[in-house]
Amino acid sequence: MRKLYVLLLCATLTGCASTKVSSLKDPRYEGVRFSRVLVFGQYEKIATQKAFEDDMVEDLRSRHIDAKPSY
């Protein structure tokens, strides 16, 4: 059974070795500035979700973006 796990691990790792990443970015795109953002984090514990959303909202507001948490 252990040999099977090792074989599957090797096959997975070698399958990823030849993966190439290419960029799909349009060089003409100049970006967009968002003025209002709803921050939503999906976590099992509501306390973790609130902490994440509060931190993200604080960071966005420091950049002069009107952000609101989802709760």
Inside any domain, residue 14: no
Inside any domain, residue 64: yes
Q: pLDDT tier at 33 (50, 70, 90 boundaries)?
A: confident
Inside any domain, residue 71: yes
pLDDT in tens, 35-62: 899 999 999 999 999 999 999 999 999 9
Looking at residue 58, what is its pLDDT? 96
pLDDT in tens, 1-28: 677 766 676 666 666 556 676 778 888 8
Looking at residue 15, what is its pLDDT? 60
Inside any domain, residue 9: no
Inside any domain, residue 53: yes
Inside any domain, residue 10: no
Burial grade of 49 (CB within 10 A; 0-12, 13-18, 19 or more): middle
How many Cα atoms within 13 Å fall on the side-chain side of residue 41?
A: 17
- Domain limits for position 50: 32-71
Q: Domain count of the chain?
A: 1
Inside any domain, residue 65: yes
Looking at residue 3, what is its pLDDT? 73
